[in-house]
Amino acid sequence: MARLNANSLGVAQEIIARYPVPRSALIPLLHLAQEQDGYVTEDAMAHIAELVGVTPAEVMGTCSFYEMLKREPVGDYMVNICNGISCHLLGSSDLIHHAEATLGVRPGGTTDDGKITLEAVECIAACTEAPCLQVNYRYRNRVTAEDFDQLVSELRDDTAKVASHGQLARVRQHIGDDRRAGVSPPDGQGEPAWMARNPSDNGDGS
Amino acid sequence: MSAPAPPDLRIITSRFDIEDGHTLAGYERTGGYAGLGRALEMAPADVHSEVRTASLLGRGGAGFPAGVKWGFCPPGVWPRYLVVNGDESEPGTYKDRLLMERDPHQLIEGCLIACYALGLSQCFLYVRGEMAHAQERLAAALNEAYEAGFVGRSVLGAPDFSVDITLHWGAGAYIVGEETALIESLEGNRGMPRLKPPYFPASIGLYGKPTIVNNVETLANLPWIVSNGGEAFAAMGADNSTGTRVFAVSGHVASPGVFEVPFGTTTFRDIIFDPRYAGGMRPGRTLKTFIPGGASAPWFFEEHLDLPLEKTTVDQAGSMLGSGAIVVMDDTTDVVKACHNVVRFFARESCGKCTPCREGTSWLEKILSRLLAGQGRPQDLDLLMDVCDNISPGINWPPRQTTICPLGPSAVSPIASALERFRAEFEAYLPATAVTVTGVAS
């Protein structure tokens, strides 16, 4: 599959420019590859390696550590049911069992139509809204079995208004050239200019 | 004082009810960026002094005073960086996400104040990967703030103060909330913790340079502190736990919620039972146990309810306030299943770098699994404690570590708590023959 296309490459270069050391852009670039193809392809990893100046193996090393980065195709929609302690106390196990029965897959599996991948995930920080889940990282709170069935039918006919897997934030950071302070490389610069300010001369000097 | 915080006492959640509080217009209308303006009129060292005076404790979990941590940067070593820890993932914890989604400019302003005070020349805002909405709220807020001259080149028109804030996002790994693992991840690596010493971030951090790693909630307090003074902040709450804190109360309560309360004076009973907070247990239910500070914390019981939410008190009582996550369990709770749930979390999230954690948490999970499956062995309960003792010798609080970071020892907390208090419930899972054998053996 694909290396980064021209559009992704432009975004990638803008991301890399925000870091003093290009390798720091690795995770955002892997997300970008996943946004383009729905998962992280080997070609994309090789391309990213070229862009940040590391080997493809190093990119694979980073990529394989993080749960969100998929190296095999997944469904259009990741349905991640929270199984953290707060959701556990309020019935997440029942919800997961219901999901398994409804979708006919175990956590980690994808439905035959390629629409939905089910996962049971650790705490996703909506503990007061238990049991909760995320669809492509967008929350659904206090989910009942009926809510779940409704969600699945909306996902199957693409009416749930959720972007397909890979797209996270719909807004990207953009720094205009006239507003950019400039990255701070580790081997550059002495004391920043403003540290010379000392109007009251009673600071503790630390 | 044990009354709930009146609305005017809210410091960092004050815009949660304001519809456009996350926009620059809404933020400025409600006093936003005034703290930054005030800071820029002061010498950087004086801003640092105000934070010291405030006695602001870090809100991420360890509770170390931020002003003191700030002082650990070695003099004369440049550049220095700011890394914001927005990788909130401790089970039960749910406050930084809201602070990022609902008041992103407050966090941005806090970052700028920290950069100004300490000479930090670039800021990296590391947001948990799964928090897509927080990422886009922060991206939108940063784009607005850059355009309006609050971030980037010549902040507020000051020719000598320029700093970029780089929005960064993770990809799913609890361990990255540990500050040295966060730095590894930000450098593009697998998120595995570094050994401290020597890798204390303030001296050897991002790219080997002095780096301040602060939690989202910690930084969100800075605009108020600079605007109102460190003394005003220190006057709120208790002596060693100043200001306010945001707690998420979840589990078996009538009204789960996220509440900002005076730090150190509000009690567990207040926040769990007061109708203005979590409103007590569900109808007809009684309290069995509660986790006072996230999944890593030893569990508390009825007798701890009147303790204040104050760091020193809770530490001395054998647990911690941690990340501000209170998880309440009522009499319907199967503690063995709850214990297994928390242990499974740590087993799954262990990064694999240190043997006691990698192997130990997996074994704990396997033993609890077979117990729940009705295949427990008579010696399993003692074996659980033995494995715990290998991960954290002595099973004391605060825990001793055989590992680089506290993740492994954290898995000991739920077992030590639950097994000591509810041993009979664990024994009840042993097959009938096994129970008999236990009786004979003892």
Judgement on whether residues A101 and A136 belong to the same structural domain of the protein: yes
Indicate whether A130 belongs to any domain. yes
B9 touches A at CB < 8 Å: no
**Residue among B43, B142, B327 minimizing CB distance to A200:** B43
Q: Number of residue pairs across A and B with CB atoms under 8 Å? A: 261
List of chain A residues whose C-beta atoms are within 8 Å of the C-beta of residue B190? 61-62, 65
Judgement on whether residues A54 and A86 belong to the same structural domain of the protein: no
Q: What is the pLDDT of residue A202?
A: 43
Query: What span, in angstroms and rounded, lies between the C-alpha atoms of A58 and A56?
Result: 5
Please say whether the beta carbons of B85 and B126 come within 8 A: yes
How far away is chain B from the Cα of A68, in angstroms, using its nearest Cα? 5
Chain B: residue nearest A134 by CA? B130
Q: Per residue in B101-112, pLDDT tens?
A: 999 999 999 999
Query: What span, in angstroms and rounded, lies between the C-alpha atoms of B143 and A14?
Result: 14
B327 touches A at CB < 8 Å: yes
List of chain A residues whose C-beta atoms are within 8 Å of the C-beta of residue B78? 189-192
The mean predicted confidence, pLDDT, of chain A is 94
Q: Is pLDDT of A199 > 70?
A: no
Chain B: residue nearest A18 by CA? B166
How far away is chain B from the Cα of A161, in angstroms, using its nearest Cα? 14
Domains observed in chain B:
7-234 (3.40.50.11540), 244-330 (3.10.20.600), 335-441 (1.20.1440.230)
Which of the four pLDDT bands, split at 50, 70 and 90, describes residue B67? very high
Judgement on whether residues A33 and A91 belong to the same structural domain of the protein: no
Chain B: residue nearest A122 by CA? B345
Indicate whether A71 belongs to any domain. no
What A159-164 contacts at long range (C-beta under 8 Å, 24+ apart), as own/partner pairs, is A160/A77, A160/A135, A162/A77, A162/A135, A162/A136, A162/A138, A163/A136, A164/A38, A164/A76, A164/A77, A164/A136
List of chain A residues whose C-beta atoms are within 8 Å of the C-beta of residue B252? 89-90
* CATH number of the domain bearing residue A32: 1.10.10.1590
Q: Per residue in B364-418, pLDDT tens?
A: 999 999 999 999 999 999 999 999 999 999 999 999 999 999 999 999 999 999 9
| Cβ contact, residue pair B97, A125, below 8 Å | yes
How far is the CA of B68 from the CAs of B48, B59, B245, in angstroms? 9, 14, 19
Q: What is the pLDDT of residue B373?
A: 97
| Cβ contact, residue pair A127, B94, below 8 Å | yes
Percent of chain B with pLDDT over 90: 95
Interface of B with A in 185-214 (CB under 8 A): 185-191, 206-209
Residue of A15, A27, A92, A200 best to disrupt the B interface, most CBs of B under 10 A: A27
Judgement on whether residues A93 and A58 belong to the same structural domain of the protein: no
How far away is chain A from the Cα of B441, in angstroms, using its nearest Cα? 35
| Cβ contact, residue pair B164, A203, below 8 Å | no
Averaged pLDDT for residues A2-16: 97
Q: What is the pLDDT of residue A188?
A: 82
The pTM (predicted TM-score) of the whole model is 0.95
How far away is chain B from the Cα of A78, in angstroms, using its nearest Cα? 12
Please say whether the beta carbons of A110 and B239 come within 8 A: no
Please say whether the beta carbons of B142 and B151 come within 8 A: yes
Averaged pLDDT for residues B142-149: 98
Judgement on whether residues A29 and A96 belong to the same structural domain of the protein: no
Judgement on whether residues A25 and A56 belong to the same structural domain of the protein: yes
Structurally, how many domains does chain A consist of?
Answer: 2
Please say whether the beta carbons of B183 and B142 come within 8 A: no
Chain A: residue nearest B187 by CA? A24
| Cβ contact, residue pair A67, B119, below 8 Å | no
Q: Per residue in A111-140, pLDDT tens?
A: 999 999 999 999 999 999 999 999 999 999
Q: Per residue in B249-292, pLDDT tens?
A: 999 999 999 999 999 999 999 999 999 999 999 999 999 999 99
Q: Per residue in B230-254, pLDDT tens?
A: 999 999 999 999 999 999 999 999 9
A82 pairs with which residues across the strands? A121
B57 pairs with which residues across the strands? B65
Chain A: residue nearest B46 by CA? A203
| Domain end residue (candidates: A133, A156, A179) | A156
List of chain B residues whose C-beta atoms are within 8 Å of the C-beta of residue A137? 129-132
| Cβ contact, residue pair B171, A66, below 8 Å | yes
| Domain end residue (candidates: A117, A141, A156) | A156
**Residue among B116, B140, B173 minimizing CB distance to A66:** B173
| Cβ contact, residue pair B46, A202, below 8 Å | yes
B345 touches A at CB < 8 Å: yes
List of chain A residues whose C-beta atoms are within 8 Å of the C-beta of residue B147? 176, 179
Q: Nearest Cα to A130, choosing from A78, A79, A97, A91?
A: A91
Query: What span, in angstroms and rounded, lies between the C-alpha atoms of B90 and A124?
Result: 9
| Cβ contact, residue pair B169, A168, below 8 Å | yes
* CATH number of the domain bearing residue A82: 3.40.30.10
**Residue among B49, B116, B174 minimizing CB distance to A122:** B174
Q: Is pLDDT of A2 > 80?
A: yes
Q: Nearest Cα to B15, choosing from B81, B102, B121?
A: B102
Indicate whether A58 belongs to any domain. yes
| Cβ contact, residue pair B172, A128, below 8 Å | no
Q: Is pLDDT of B7 > 90?
A: no
| Cβ contact, residue pair A85, B116, below 8 Å | no
Could you say which DSSP state residue B17 is in? T
| Cβ contact, residue pair B130, A24, below 8 Å | no
| Cβ contact, residue pair A189, B91, below 8 Å | no
Indicate whether A186 belongs to any domain. no
Judgement on whether residues A91 and A124 belong to the same structural domain of the protein: yes
What residues make up the domain containing A95? 77-156
Q: Which two tokens stand for residue B334?
A: 């199967």
**Residue among A89, A171, A174 minimizing CB distance to B338:** A89
